[in-house]
Amino acid sequence: MKRILVIDDCETMRLTLRLVLENAGFAITEASDGQDGLAKADAGGYDAIIADINMPVMDGLTFLKQIRNRALYKATPILMLTTEAREERKDQGRSSGATGWIIKPFHGDKLITALRQLLDTPQA
């Protein structure tokens, strides 16, 4: 079972992501901000990460830059799931190490499809 780290400061969004991802067969760990996400990433290897941009304590772009400096996560797929739709922000995300960008609100099936493509995981 593929392990996904979900980082979002909104508890409702984390719950929604948990339901969508667990129903698709993924194991989920939640973090409430980028700093919490780094601590959880350091505690165990994840196959992919889904992170918000706008969070307290440590935002998603800072998280991206720091996680990409860790050898274990240099090639790990990281999807940014955010309300930020401006090209400038997407460019910042790409240059910081984002693998993909999904705009909120999202469709669960599209998120699962994108995640499976990144992980090359066949549909259950």
The H helix count followed by the E strand count for the chain is 5, 5
pLDDT at 120: 84
- Write out pLDDT tens, residues 75-104: 999 999 988 888 888 899 899 999 999 889
The CATH fold assigned to 3-119 is Rossmann fold (3.40.50)
**Which sequence spans correspond to the domains of the chain?**
3-119
Across the range 103-122, mean pLDDT stands at 87
pTM over 0.85: yes
pLDDT at 82: 87
Name the burial class of residue 18, with classes exposed (0-12), middle (13-18) and buried (19+) by CB atoms within 10 angstroms of its CB: middle
Name the burial class of residue 95, with classes exposed (0-12), middle (13-18) and buried (19+) by CB atoms within 10 angstroms of its CB: exposed
